[in-house]
Structure 1
Amino acid sequence: MSRHAESAPHSTGRPDQEEGKDQEDGRTAVTVFVALGANLVIALAKLLGGLFAGSPALLSEAAHSVADSLNEIFLLASLKRSTRAPDSKHPFGYGKERYFWSLLAAVGIFVMGGCFSVFQGIEALRSGSSESHTGYVVGLVVLAVALVAEGSSLVRALLQVAGQARQTGRSLREAIRSADDPALRTVLAEDSTACFGVVLAMAGLGLHMITGEVRWEAWASMLIGALLVFVAYQLAKESRGQIIGEAADPALRRALMTFLAEQPEIDTVATLLSMRLGTRSTLVAARVDLVGGLDSEEVEEVLVRLKRTIRERWPLADQVFLDVTDASPRDRERARQERRRLDRAVDGEPGQDDGTGQDDGAGQDSEPGQDSRSGQGGAAREG
């Protein structure tokens, strides 16, 4: 069987049979649209209320909602652009578009939300502004409505995560922590931060009304800004790691290594490397040492069969590369160490691999003088 014949069905770079993933993307788009609609209405209400009441905390919350609205547009763009088919300039597809646009959303939260909120708090301390009783009432009413709207958007996002948790057999907390869709993760972070920020703004406004001192509102505004800066940093850090290239989930890596090691034609899995290309695509590259006595045709058949089986069992692993090599004693020991790390990561033991792609040298070149069996037809073949 030729390589071209084998690779043709997978030339799109993503398994078209993943209808469930397409449906999940549709649910995520609805969640983002709900968040966008809520943020636009809330931003306008906060802005008008803040201008009427002269409330720095309310204006900070308005800036927060404006930043969130812009970010939802970024996330919608990521959902659309990340599903484009591969082309000659991007042969592995556009899956990482989601991570790029999520990074822009994090920058928007930092600049438009966090920095403006801190600025508003400092200005309030310097000016010592005061509000009328009507202003307090208007501000609290606007914030109460905002809390209900933000809470509704958060509930929608949590329901989607809960559905994913049921499908994967995880708890809600585990599903939130392991959410691999940056769009959904960003909406969760925005809405939860928005709800907490509204509570802070209500507390600051209420204490200002009771004590007559604007410093309570000013500090509430600065706390909101600090919270937004922290959330923006966390989201940007995650997006940065994914853009650079993160390894697949440790459970998937261990399953792939176990599958390859159990094949009768494979003596040793010297190296197994992976990189997430998007929410629905993963690159897998393995160097395997085959048992002796196989001719070039048998090697070809083995590699084609292994790649086809991997794609069928794990549709997420749609880009598979296998390289036949002579494993040195050092390679074998390194492979055993990597397997132990994966076992600890999956079992949740101390010293676990965090899944960030740190394979501790497993992907280094072999020792000098080590020859690859390219003559057997196994050198770096793409499926």
Structure 2
Amino acid sequence: MTRSAGTAAERDGETRITVWVALGANLVICVAKGVGGVIAGSPALLSEAAHSVADSLNEVFLLASVKRSRRPADKRHPFGYGKERFFWSLLAAVGIFVTGGCFSVFQGIEAFRSGGSESHKGYVIGLIVLFAALIAEGASLVRAVRQVRGEAREAGRSTTEEIRQVRDPALRTVLAEDSTACAGVVLAMIGMALHMVTGEVAYEAWASILIGVLLVYVAYALGKGARAQLIGEAADPAMQSEVRALLRRQPEIDSVTALLTMQLGPDSVLLAAGIDLTAGYDSETVEDAMVRIRDELKARWPELDQVFLDVTDAAAARRAAGREEAEHPAGA
């Protein structure tokens, strides 16, 4: 199925709401975790507060990315600003790694070195804060999953498949952050509960370190995806196959000699195709055919907003290759 430009704009609106919900939840949770962590003297709770700080900063980055990526093309950026999404997503990944992951691991190591104990009141405060955080993070995660489900229905895919193929880095980052946040809160609660029962701070220290390792992995995965998109990732392989098949069905096209794509943004793809024309058509007919084919491609895939069809002479290329082989035979 294809997606219209109007649907893309609506999806941006949905993404903004999802990010705002995540930002509001993280700001409230961050304050609660920080105050609770100081009162309780809990390294796991403080590491979770650092996690929420990182998430809050990232949401600001993501809101900026959605707005800036929709600026129209200009002379300096003739293909538009769609890759702003990928750049800010990369910054968000760095933020998760440094502010969240590294600080959490540091908190865990410090807890091992210094030891520590908490009062019964501290345990109660910490667990209450974490339970409230789990509810808030869960609500934000539900919002993100609902958006992914809607896009999955629109694209005719399962929710699981859509999660794997989410191309909007803002939505992908929120989904990853909220999932990790829920897992992190559960780890912190387990660590604090075991500390309360056994009196051993090592359980909270290990919980803090595990939260940090989890955040580092998520940051790596998000950063890897953003890097691939920034340096020029190709469009979906299934879409490439369908485009090639459509071109081959055209009576004016004898063969498709090359087909290159690049993702310029979540809903923007560049297509450059080399085509060899069928003999017998005059220039005016060929020109009309090129216009018709471009229009058909864009009608079928609205995200193909940059289409370049390069007419080549495949027969000449094959003759040149034959002469090269005759002059320089293999093994000679």
- TM-score bracket, normalised by the shorter chain, equals over 0.9
Give, in whole Å, the separation in 2 of the partners of 1:72 and 1:268. Answer: 47
Counterpart residue identity of residue 38, structure 1: A
1:164-192 per-residue CA deviation (whole Å, 9 max, x = no partner) reads: 11222211111111111110010000000
CA contact (8 A) 1:114 1:224 kept: yes
The alpha-carbon deviation at position 330 of structure 1 amounts to: 8.5
Q: Of the candidates 161, 175, 180, which is equivalent to residue 162 of structure 2?
A: 175
Paired position in structure 2 for 1:278: 265
Match of 2:213 among 222, 226, 240: 226
Report the counterpart of residue 291 of structure 1 in structure 2.
278
- Unpaired runs of 5+ residues, structure 2, are 325-332
TM-score scaled by structure 2?
Answer: 0.94
Question: In the alignment, is residue 205 of structure 1 matched against residue 192 of structure 2?
Answer: yes
What secondary structure is seen at the aligned counterpart in 2 of 1:246? Answer: coil
- Give the distance between the partners of 2:198 and 2:116, measured in 1 at CA: 13
How many angstroms apart in 1 are the aligned matches of 2:312 and 2:290? 13
Task: Give the letter for the 1:113 counterpart.
Answer: G
Q: Which residue in 2 is equivalent to 1:54?
A: 41
Q: Please tell me whether the aligned partners of residues 128 and 214 of structure 1 are also in contact (alpha carbons under 8 angstroms).
A: yes
For the residue of structure 2 that corresponds to 1:320, the secondary structure is: strand
* Contact 1:328–1:367 (Cα < 8 Å) also in 2: no
Q: Does 1:166 align with 2:133?
A: no
Query: Alignment RMSD, CA only?
Result: 1.8
Name the structure 1 match of 2:76: 89
* Residue deviations 1:203-235 (CA, integer Å, cap 9, x gap): 000111111010000000000000000000000
Pick from 62, 71, 83 the counterpart of residue 58 of structure 2. Answer: 71
Residue 356 of structure 1 aligns with which residue? none
> Offset of 1:294 from its aligned partner?
2.1
> Which one of the candidate residues 184, 188, 196 is aligned to 2:183?
196
Moved over 6 A (4+): none
Segments of 5+ residues of structure 1 without an aligned counterpart are 1-15, 332-365, 371-383
Output the CA distance in 2 between the equivalents of 1:52 and 1:327: 75
SS of the residue aligned with 1:315?
coil
- Aligned twin of 1:121: 108
Pairing partner for 1:131 from 105, 111, 118 = 118
Pick the structure with more helix per residue.
Answer: 2
Letter in 1 for 2:312: T
What is the count of residue pairs matched by the alignment?
Answer: 321
- Aligned pairs (5 A) from 1:1-383: 18-327=5-314
Cα distance in 2, alignment partners of residues 369 and 126 from structure 1: 75
Using the TM superposition, give the Cα deviation of residue 312 of structure 1 relative to its aligned residue in structure 2, in angstroms.
1.7
The whole-number CA distance in structure 2 between the counterparts of 1:230 and 1:63 is 16
Equivalent AA in structure 2 for residue 268 of structure 1? S
Paired with 1:316 and 1:368, the residues of 2 have a C-alpha distance of: 39
The alpha carbon displacement at 1:298 in A equals 2.3
One-letter identity of the residue aligned with 2:127: L
Q: 2: CA distance between counterparts of 1:330 and 1:147?
A: 63
- Secondary structure of 1:272's aligned partner: strand
Structure 1 CA distance, aligned partners of 2:196 and 2:247? 68
Give 1:329 shift: 9.8
Name the amino acid aligned to 1:256: V
Which residue number corresponds to residue 334 of structure 1?
A: none
Amino acid at match of 1:150: E
Q: Highest relative contact order (Cα 8 Å, sep 6+), 1 or 2?
A: 2
Change (3 A) 1:203 1:17: closer
